[in-house]
Structure 1
Amino acid sequence: MPSIPPMPSFRASARGERAATRSELPRIPVPTARAIVDCGVYVDGHRLPGRFTHRDALAEVRNRGAGFVWVGLHDPDDAQMGDIAETFGLHALAVEDAVRAHQRPKLERYDDTLVLVMRTVAYVEHELHSVSEIVETGEIMVFAAADFVVTVRHGEHSGLATVRQRLEADATMLMYGPGSVLHGIADYVVDNYIDVAASVELDIDAMEEEVFTPRSQVAIESIYQLKREVVELRRAVNPLAIPLQLLGHKSDLPLPKEIRRYMRDVADHHTSVAERITDFDGSLSALISAALAKIGVQQNTDMRKISAYVAIAAVPTMIAGIYGMNFEHMPELRWTYGYPLIIGIIVTICTLLLILFRRNHWL
């Protein structure tokens, strides 16, 4: 087993104030247990058997003087998050962000507690030409200190059960403490970015093929929708670059050296997928220009056809208009074969015009 860097010493941070309640209406407090998805105690890379409340789990770790607690929360309200903050001594500002969500990806430090905010993404299956949501976003907030990790999840698609199972199967990694959980979650989020980017790329490829297929009908609304979703994806992914760089290179953060190495690998993967998403944006901009040009060509073709038909229809209209003036002295007005002659002239001129327009590819 590789040598494990020493865990950073724990210093109890000042107890944070509870986040201010967003509603003035009185409400019945909801037990914190309802927001807790899982709570485990990990010692020497292994999870202790049994079930713990968040208070009992933290007391167990501090009585042992080793290990850490991992509490996972899903959409907690003010009262539930306030209880967690009181137990673990979380800062009031960070707790407020955890309840309200919709934060930009960022890394903050409150004494010995690191707070990492990440946006999660999920691909929504859809029809190619449907104007509907393609990328769904959520949020994960991680509080990591020397002897605990608190994860707060918003959204239905960003479950961390897979991350927990994968880490529990790797005792060597878990021995690095809360930093291993921080890395595992960041790696999971970035891997999702890669998967979603691959799915969006398939949509873009299909849209490009259709736009450049001759005589295909271009649904410009679908392209605009796809571009809007790529913009949303870029806003969720790109801002995470700076926090990952700090976690991988800033040596004064309370993280083991080996975890910082793993974080640099995650940052490299993130850089790759961020550049890929930026390329999507450029490709869709070019695709919109090509689609608009194709629509313009189609409109010009339609206008030529309409103009050709109007020119052909103008011949009988003009002749009928002349003979409809009801002058007394008009050519062939009283001749027996006058009417057939005029009809023949109209048919002849219209046929010549039809042949001419077809030769010039107007019809």
Structure 2
Amino acid sequence: MNRFTRRIGAVGVLLLLAGSLAGCGSGGDSGGAGGASSGPMDATKAGLPKSADDISGTIDKTKVKKNLVVGVDNPYYLFHHDIDVALAKGYFKEFGIDSVDIKTIEDPLPPLIGGSLDLALYDTDTAIAAAKKSGQGLRFLSVYLGGEANVLGVGKGINTGADLKGKTITGGQFGSRNDAIIRQLLRDNGVEPDRDVKIVSTGGQSNERLQSVIAGTVDGASIQLRHRTVLEKAGGKVLFEETREVPQSGWSANKLLQESPETVTAFLAATLKARQFITDQANKDEVLTIMRDKKFEIPTEYADAYAAENAPDYHVSDGGFKPADMDKFISDQITYKTVPDGTDWRQYTYLLPLWRAQKALGLPLNPALADM
């Protein structure tokens, strides 16, 4: 997920105090294809529609909440542009939503659970773990970033794996997913961690790790795709990299899903329509203009990463994912102790709003019903 593993212990009390949010739904996507929900929603077989024909792609705008407040944990424009483009292009109004206020919050789960946020964009594993711990209505809805770039950036004078001998490398904090995947990247390229190189634990996020490489504090670090040009201008380079399909982050909802599921569907339809626009590379300049007008700083080096960061299989164009990828991701996170043992992600994932949004946009259902 290329960010530090989230600590969810601090929100445990809030999860317990959130109370039961599993009351009656008010719209057309509770339980199955319609009707009221009698408990927390999930995408296990017992709660699935029988066929795609049972899923409605028609959104009743009279049941849609007009003004939303959502939380996003990352200030980088990539995590905001679905909403801002949807606002600029009129997609929210098309589906019955008048305004969306974005709050940039390091950890949006507590206010989501407390009810001051309607939806939150956050790490998939953390949201699912919190949903299990709460036992209430928090549900994961759709994938935002479905690609995971594992990139080792190095400083001057390092040109091969052999040049790493005795050097200092960081993937971030020990025990995080970043730490684990940078170790695997090294092994995949013939470098054994803790034998050939010294792995150190560091704080901060990827921007801080990039600066540590440029400053020479470490010889190499896990960085992001957008950092390549910045690092090269400083005399460094990307030594190893790989991109995998990992449903690393996405949207979750809590109280809104129980009180107005129609709004959740409308929100996903509007933002997925924006994402279809964004991932069409012909629209790059217009998207960046919209975001710069919103006062986001996007230097040329970061704009150069647009094609990679907004590829349809990275910033997934339909919000979907492969269940097998989610199985592996959650299994990995259980191993890393960020998700409780025995977690079945399907119990804490509710896909009907996503399927309805996909259908409203004329997209195939993803995941397919048969795969769930």
- Higher RCO (C-alpha 8 Å, min separation 6): 2
Structure 1 or 2: more helix by fraction: 1
**What TM-score does the superposition give when structure 2 sets the normalisation length?**
0.28
**What TM-score does the superposition give when structure 1 sets the normalisation length?**
0.28
Q: Which of the two has higher C-alpha Rg?
A: 1
